[in-house]
Amino acid sequence: AEISLQNGHGVGVLGFPPTLADFPEYEGYPDEVVDQMATSYPSPVHKDLMRRSASIHGTVFP
The pLDDT assigned to 30 comes to 92
The pLDDT assigned to 44 comes to 86
- C-beta of residue 47 within 8 angstroms of C-beta of residue 21: no
Pick from 60, 40, 38: nearest CA to 51: 38
Instruction: Give the mean pLDDT per block of 10 residues along the chain (62 residues).
Output: 85 81 82 87 84 85 82
The pLDDT assigned to 42 comes to 82
The pLDDT assigned to 10 comes to 92
Question: Coil, strand, or helix at residue 32?
Answer: helix
Q: 10 lies in which domain range? A: 2-59
- C-beta of residue 58 within 8 angstroms of C-beta of residue 11: yes
Overall domain count for the chain: 1
The pLDDT assigned to 1 comes to 75
The pLDDT assigned to 32 comes to 92
